[in-house]
Each structure stands twice: as structure tokens, then as C-alpha cells.
């Protein structure tokens, strides 16, 4: 799959982000804070981007009807409405950080608590406005910044429609003067259907979804493999971070989602009837604290000043059938 992905260089991101990234300032990188939705169209494919709502993919239709949970399916008055629709970017970490607190390089950092369970969840950019820096009929590039200690980062997304589906690139650049741990991912809400993913292990966790130890083999209560007749299963009710990924793709009735080889975790959430969240992410839940406990395989990436990292996704029309596709 690697040949399908155009990996960017540091120079590419310097150019896209407007030159030097050191000493990043919000005013330098995020000048448009409230823009209308953007519709990308290619034949019967349509992607709607919502810059003012976390720069998210608000809706996607690959010719078989809408695939994502629309914004009107959750209460706009709910302070956590931002987390319940579309497909939004996760940066500079994915999923939960326990108590919003972690220690890195001997310094303890407190992040804003943004969820009822007392965690810092889904990064810092999913509920903010993004600016549109490039746009055409079939593509759009968006960026935003955050200055939330220890993070002074710029985040960029590019969405592009191709005949086979939608491609998405997500990147983060460290504009601060010290190294920081980061992770990336996306959080799509798809219409529920029989589902398959190629995973061998999962992070054991309690009701709080925070890992209690290193990965263990997937058990029967969390099985997302094909059944004995080679068919996709109706997924169990889970909120689980998987790892040990074989093929970098997951399959639903009307969609295949693929991701780049540097993504080693997959969160699957089925707690809302009628919907399934399939979240390919670079880091495990609470990865930064797992690192401090000496647990390997968390997926944490460390960015020095001026460094960038990125990942890629493709949303594709499946060939049909009841198996993997």
C-alpha cells in the first residue's frame, strides 16, 4: 500500500505552513475563523467539509448515499455535540489522556479536561475553527494552530476526491521550542453495518477505556474478524483500541477505509445504536502515560522543534459482496 501514499517532506510543510514554523503564532497561521461548509464534487462523489466545526468531514457520499452521522443526529446544545457527528481530526493526540495529565522529559503537564469522564479526549483541534488555505472543485486544504502548553503546533488537512473515493492527509508540525509527544488520527461516525478489520491484539481496559497493561490477544467479546463462513460480523458493543494490525483497512457495507502503514492502532466504538466509529490512529489510548510506565508499543511520536509528522486515509467504494471485498 505504501506506493499509494505521497509522503511529505519537512520542506513541504514549511512551504505549506508559510515558511519557518519555529515561534508559531496563531495570527500567522489561522486568519479565517468562520467559513461556510465546502462541497467537493466529482461525478457522483460528494464530500462536505465544515471548517468552522473542527475542520471535519461533515458528510461523505460515494454514490450510494450519505455515510456519516449528520450533525442533526445529536443535540447542538450538548457541550459535547462536537464529538458526536461527521469525521473529525484527532491531534496532537488521539483518544483519552487520564486526568488530562502526563509527564514528558521530567515535566508534568496539565491539559484542559474536555469530557465528563475527567479526561482530555481527542486532542485540541476537533472543536475549533480551521482556515481554508487552498480550494478547488475536488480538493481543499485546511489548517489551524493551537497554543496550549506544552503544545504550540500547526495542524493541516488535505481532502481530495479521486474517481475511486476520497483521500485525506493529516499532519502536525511542532512550532514550539521543545520536543513534545504527539499522535494523530480521525474519528468517523459511519452508519452501522457488518464490519471487518484485520487485528490480532487489543489494549485491555476498564470501563474508563484506559489501558490497564500491554496488549493481549483479541477475545471472543471483541472479535471483529470474519466468521467461519468468511462473512463480516455485526460488531459487538465495544469501545476498544486494537493493535497488531495486518491489512491496513476496514470494510463495511458501503465503504472501505484504508490507512497508511505508519498507523498501528484502530479504535472501534459501537455504543450508539445505528452507528459505528472506526478510528485508525497512531497512538494507543493514554499513550503518553503508558510510556511513563515503561509499556512498549504505544505509538507515541516525538517531535522536536520544527519537526512534522503525518498520516493518510482513503475512503473507497467497495466492490460489493458479503465478505472482505
pLDDT (tens digit per residue) in 63-88: 999 999 999 888 888 888 999 999 99
**pLDDT recorded at residue 73:** 86
Least confident of 32-41, 233-242, 265-274: 32-41
Pairing, β 256-259 against β 239-251: antiparallel
Name residue, grid cell 469530557. 115
What would the pLDDT profile of 206-223 be if each residue is shown by its tens digit? 999 999 999 999 999 999
Instruction: Express as a percent the part of the chain with pLDDT over 70.
Output: 87
**pLDDT recorded at residue 18:** 40
- For 16, phi and psi rounded to 5 degrees? -65, -35
The pTM of the full predicted model, rounded to 2 decimals, is 0.89
C-alpha distance from residue 205 to each of 147, 170, 210, 222, 282 (Å): 31, 28, 5, 12, 18
Every domain of the chain and the residues it spans:
2-316
What does the alpha-carbon distance between residue 3 and residue 249 come to, in Å, rounded to a whole number?
15
Q: Is 50 exceeded by the pLDDT of residue 60?
A: yes
What does the alpha-carbon distance between residue 35 and residue 33 come to, in Å, rounded to a whole number?
7
**According to CATH, what is the number of the domain 2-316?**
2.70.98.10
Least confident of 17-21, 62-66, 255-259, 282-286: 17-21
Least confident of 100-109, 137-146, 272-281, 313-322: 313-322
- 3-class state of residue 73 by DSSP: helix
What does the alpha-carbon distance between residue 76 and residue 39 come to, in Å, rounded to a whole number?
22
Q: Is 70 exceeded by the pLDDT of residue 239?
A: yes
What does the alpha-carbon distance between residue 229 and residue 208 come to, in Å, rounded to a whole number?
34
What does the alpha-carbon distance between residue 267 and residue 239 come to, in Å, rounded to a whole number?
7
What would the pLDDT profile of 280-322 be if each residue is shown by its tens digit? 999 999 999 999 999 999 999 999 999 999 999 999 998 864 4
The arithmetic mean of pLDDT across residues 140-156, rounded, is 97
What does the alpha-carbon distance between residue 214 and residue 207 come to, in Å, rounded to a whole number?
17
Amino acid at each position: 500500500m505504501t506506493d499509494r501514499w505521497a509522503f511529505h517532506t519537512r520542506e513541504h510543510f514549511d512551504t505549506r505552513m508559510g515558511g519557518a514554523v519555529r515561534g508559531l503564532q496563531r495570527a500567522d497561521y489561522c486568519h479565517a475563523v468562520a467559513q461556510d461548509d465546502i462541497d467537493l464534487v466529482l461525478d457522483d462523489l460528494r464530500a462536505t467539509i465544515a471548517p468552522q466545526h473542527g475542520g471535519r468531514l461533515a458528510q461523505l457520499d460515494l454514490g450510494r448515499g450519505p455515510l456519516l452521522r449528520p450533525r442533526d443526529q445529536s443535540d447542538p446544545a450538548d457541550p459535547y455535540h462536537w464529538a458526536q457527528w461527521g469525521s473529525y481530526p484527532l491531534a496532537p493526540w488521539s483518544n483519552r489522556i487520564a486526568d488530562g495529565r502526563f509527564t514528558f522529559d521530567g515535566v508534568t503537564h496539565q491539559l484542559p479536561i474536555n469530557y465528563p469522564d475527567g479526561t482530555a479526549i481527542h486532542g485540541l483541534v476537533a472543536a475549533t475553527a480551521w482556515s481554508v488555505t487552498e480550494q478547488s472543485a475536488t480538493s481543499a486544504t485546511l489548517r489551524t494552530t493551537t497554543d496550549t502548553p506544552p503544545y504550540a503546533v500547526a495542524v493541516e488537512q488535505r481532502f481530495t476526491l479521486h474517481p475511486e473515493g476520497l483521500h485525506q492527509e493529516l499532519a502536525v508540525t511542532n512550532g514550539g521550542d521543545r520536543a513534545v509527544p504527539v499522535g494523530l488520527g480521525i474519528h468517523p461516525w459511519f452508519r452501522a453495518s457488518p464490519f471487518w478489520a484485520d487485528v490480532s491484539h487489543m489494549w485491555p481496559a476498564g470501563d474508563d477505556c484506559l489501558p490497564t497493561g500491554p496488549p493481549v490477544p483479541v477475545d471472543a467479546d471483541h472479535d471483529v474478524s470474519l466468521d467461519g463462513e468468511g462473512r463480516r460480523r455485526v460488531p459487538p458493543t465495544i469501545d476498544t483500541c486494537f493493535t497488531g494490525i495486518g491489512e491496513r483497512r476496514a470494510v463495511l457495507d458501503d465503504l472501505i477505509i484504508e490507512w497508511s502503514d505508519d498507523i498501528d492502532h484502530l479504535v472501534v466504538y459501537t455504543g450508539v445504536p445505528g452507528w459505528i466509529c472506526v478510528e485508525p490512529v497512531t497512538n494507543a489510548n493514554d499513550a503518553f502515560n503508558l510510556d511513563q510506565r515503561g509499556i512498549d508499543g504505544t505509538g507515541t511520536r516525538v517531535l522536536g522543534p520544527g519537526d512534522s509528522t503525518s498520516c493518510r486515509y482513503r475512503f473507497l467504494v467497495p466492490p460489493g459482496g458479503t465478505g472482505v471485498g
